[in-house]
Homo-oligomer: A and B are copies of this chain.
Amino acid sequence: MKYLLTLLFVAFVSNAQIKKEQLDLMPWPQNINLKEGIFPLTKNFKVNITGNPNPRIFVGTTNFLRRLDGRTGLFLTQGFITKVNESPVAELQINCAQNGKIGLYEDESYQLDIQPNKIMINATTDLGALHALETLLQMLQNNSTSYYFPSATVTDLPRFTWRGVMIDVARHFQPVDVIKRNLDAMAAVKMNVFHWHLTDDQGWRIQVKKHPKLTSLASDGFFYTQEEIKSVVKYADERGILVVPEIDVPGHASAILTAYPEIGSKMIPFSNGTSEKNMQSTALASYGIERNAGIFNPTLDPSNPKTYQLLSEIFDEVCPLFPGAYFHIGGDENEGKDWDSNPKIQEFKKKNKLVTNHDLQTYFTMQLIPMLKKHGKQLMGWEEIMTKDMSKNAIIHSWKGPNEGVPVGQSLANAAKNGYKTVLSNGYYIDLVQGVDKHYLNDPIPKGSNLTVEEKARILGGEATMWSELVTPLTLDSRIWPRTAAIAERLWSNQDVVDLNSLHKRMKTISFRLEELGITHLRNKDVILRNISNNQGIKALEDFSNVCEPLKIYKRNAGGTEYQMYSPFTLFADACTPDAFDAFDFDTAVDRYLKNKNPENQLLVSSFLKKWIATNNDLVHLSLNAPLVHPILPLSKSLSDLSQQLLLVMENKQSLNVSLLHDLLEQCNSKDHADVELAVYTSLKKLIGA
């Protein structure tokens, strides 16, 4: 009896009533109510499905079981789930009233009820049930020896219907397995739109059987076959994700024009004629796959019927591969330079009473609408397509913001006011490697918005954009995750869920759990550092990378020519990530120390400083046999130098030399080394009182 009491007491302590703040759910559900008691997980745990779901729930539930088993090592006895009502007495009962349709406005809500003996998921559609399974996986808790779910009820549904990620596979091709693992990660944070940027100046990435030149001449051999496209679409469907393809026209056309120069706008006058003759006799310009980053001139000729014929034939093949109702035609960043210099096009404008190049582009875009409508597709384009004559059926993808000299949210609001459905990407440009806070607080409909209810309803949601100038399959995941989980929460959860401390705490767990889906953001960092270290051990590099971040916005590749598309992305900057791991903790330590300079708080700060001094010594040692370490040394030395001085001052071994400290601090603000910056600069500045 005494033994039993002890056991009960242990169980009580270790399974003590959990609080909401302890749960690492993301996106945070609309309603969650924790109750007393737990559901203990054992190897006999089984799932049963009832109702009329789409078969994707069988794939999803089987995957759920494998993930749960992989985490816990319980050897769950249930293998594959293949049909309704296979295990009527199972502890987890999932009921889906109807077959979920992939697309906007579908019911994705769910109810999850965890009781000490049973768990119930009720959802209108299997899409909601899949979301519930992700929530349940996030609810998993453990004590020292076992796993359990806390008793709770969750009722949940998304705030926005479009919760997307765009991946640019043109700048750097991303193989099918890379796309699939990212679809898994998207589903894990309840995102439901994958926007596939398939073409750009740097490559044409989708097979078109009628026009094999597109891939044989303009892909370097890196493209998806139609069967691969289908397999990705199927994989996405099984995870409740809509795939929206993008064929970017009329600009960003270097690749398509490499294959079909005859539909380009560029005119090359003969050099050996009179000027009058030049006006009439032009030769075909030739184009090449672009190797740099930037905005380029190659543009389709909107006055040439062959342009429309080719696009129509491409759409005829591409559209049926994507069962969804939306097709993105790009339309961005066409500066029309080749239009301006082409007399034939100028004449066409006059003839059709098109005053500006915007008018001409609208003319062009309007021709595409029926080509897509024929396949049941609605046209979507970047915000440049929004002109006064553009069809109101088009969906406007808002991307410009302060970087482009436009106020935050302006084009999104304008689109909604003008009667367009619209999706927000400005503020979600994850390729700019900025910290997560900014993305997280970027609300598609900020509080105090003066839009009407109808206008607000036109704002479908948002989309994180992963442009790939500076990422390869090795680093892509680390640029998307874990920050995109915060964007997913912004688009799913209540507008009032904005606590940054909570976000940072939960992101650590979410980031860790993404590994089980194959996401490589953590593991590939070490791979890059091992190469840089020349296999001499990575601890010093890892410690230093935890206070460094890659240069942000467009600073790493100013002018777009430092890196070609085939340049090495195996450098220190590629191993570093936004939200450097130690920066947040150091900042917290500095704040505490500045509030109260007691020995404990001083130790918190000084242990960082001592680590950085040791790291610098280790890096110098490493560099004796590792050329790739050298570019990092100046910045590491700056941090070490400042740390040494700060330690002396903090430990009262030296009086404060303000000017010396400021000099050393400014050396820590350098952006000249290894394409990274010190993420602890601001905290150091605070510490010095500068």
**Interface residues in chain A, defined as those with a beta carbon under 8 Å from any beta carbon in chain B:** 59, 66, 69-75, 79-80, 142-147, 175-177, 220-221, 225, 227-228, 231, 291, 508-509, 512, 515-516, 520, 522-524, 526-527, 530-531, 534-535, 564, 566-571, 623-628, 630
Which listed residue, B80, B220, B515, touches A566 by the CB 8 Å rule? B80
Contact B566 A66 (CB under 8 A): yes
Residues on the B chain within 8 Å of A628, using CB: 72-73
Question: Which chain B residue shows the least CB distance to A534?
Answer: B142
Q: Are B524 and A571 closer than 8 Å at their CB atoms?
A: no
Can you tell how many copies of this chain the complex includes?
2
Across the two chains, which residue of chain B brings its CB closest to A562? B75
13 A-B pairs (CB sep. < 8 Å): A66-B566, A69-B568, A72-B627, A73-B627, A73-B628, A75-B567, A79-B291, A143-B627, A145-B627, A177-B177, A512-B530, A515-B527, A522-B527
Q: Which residues from B are CB-within-8-Å of A228?
A: 227
Q: In whole Å, how far is A657's beta carbon from the nearest beta carbon of chain B?
A: 34
- Whether the pair A516, B531 counts as a contact (CB closer than 8 A) is yes
Report chain B residues within 8 Å CB of A564: 75, 79
Residue of B nearest to A571 (CB): B73
Q: Is the CB of B526 within 8 A of A70?
A: no
User: In the complex, how many angstroms separate the beta carbon of A537 from the nearest chain B beta carbon?
Assistant: 11
A568 interface neighbour in B74, B146, B568, Cβ under 8 Å: B74
With A73-B568, A177-B177 in contact, do A630 and B79 touch (Cβ < 8 Å)?
no
Known A508-B535, A628-B73; judge A144-B623 contact (CB<8 A): yes
Complex interface: chain B residues within 8 A of A624 (CB) = 144
Question: Which residue of B72, B566, B570, B627 is within 8 Å of A147 (Cβ)?
Answer: B627
- Please indicate the chain B residues that have their CB under 8 angstroms from the CB of A70 in the complex: 531, 568-570
Give which listed residue, B142, B520, B571, B625, contacts A627 with CB less than 8 A.
B142
Q: Is the CB of A523 within 8 A of B534?
A: no
* Min C-beta distance of A171 to chain B, whole Å: 14
Residue on B with the closest CB to A511?
Answer: B535
Residue contact B79 to A566, C-beta cutoff 8 Å:
yes
Contacts of A146 in B (CB 8 A): 627
Cα A625 to Cα B73 in complex, Å, equals: 15
Across the interface, which residues of B come within 8 angstroms of A221, CB to CB? 59
Cβ-closest chain B residue relative to A565: B79
**Contact of B523 with A535 in the complex, beta carbons under 8 Å:** no
CA distance A176 to B175 in the complex (A): 11
Contact A523 B515 (CB under 8 A): no
Chain B residues closer than 8 Å to A530, beta-carbon distance: 512, 515, 522
* With A70-B568, A71-B531, A520-B523 already in contact, 12 other A-B pairs whose C-beta atoms are closer than 8 Å: A59-B221, A79-B564, A79-B566, A142-B534, A142-B627, A143-B627, A144-B623, A144-B625, A144-B627, A176-B177, A227-B227, A523-B523
> Per a CB cutoff under 8 Å, which of B59, B143, B524 touches A523?
B524
Closest 8 CB pairs of A and B: A177-B177, A523-B523, A512-B535, A70-B570, A69-B568, A227-B227, A79-B566, A70-B568
Given the interface contacts A69-B568, A566-B79, does A142 sit within 8 Å of B175 by beta carbon? no
Q: How far is the CB of A598 from chain B (nearest CB, A)?
A: 27
Report the minimal beta-carbon distance from A178 to chain B, rounded to whole angstroms.
8
Query: Once the chains bind, are B69 and A567 in contact (CB under 8 Å)?
Result: yes
Q: Which residue of B lies closest to A569 (CB)?
A: B70
Q: Are A71 and B570 in contact (CB under 8 A)?
A: yes
Q: How far is the CB of A221 from chain B (nearest CB, A)?
A: 7
CB-CB under 8 A from A630, the residues of chain B are 144-145
Nearest CB in chain B: distance from A414 CB, A: 41
Q: Which residues of B contact A626 (CB under 8 A)?
A: 142, 144
CA gap between A227 and B142 in the complex, in Å: 44
**CB of A146, distance to nearest CB on chain B (Å):** 6
- Smallest beta-carbon distance A263→chain B, Å: 24
Residue of B nearest to A79 (CB): B566
Select from chain B the residue with minimum beta-carbon distance to A175: B177
| Chain B residues, Cβ within 8 Å of A144 | 623-627, 630
Pick the contact of A527 from B71, B145, B227, B523 — CB < 8 Å? Answer: B523
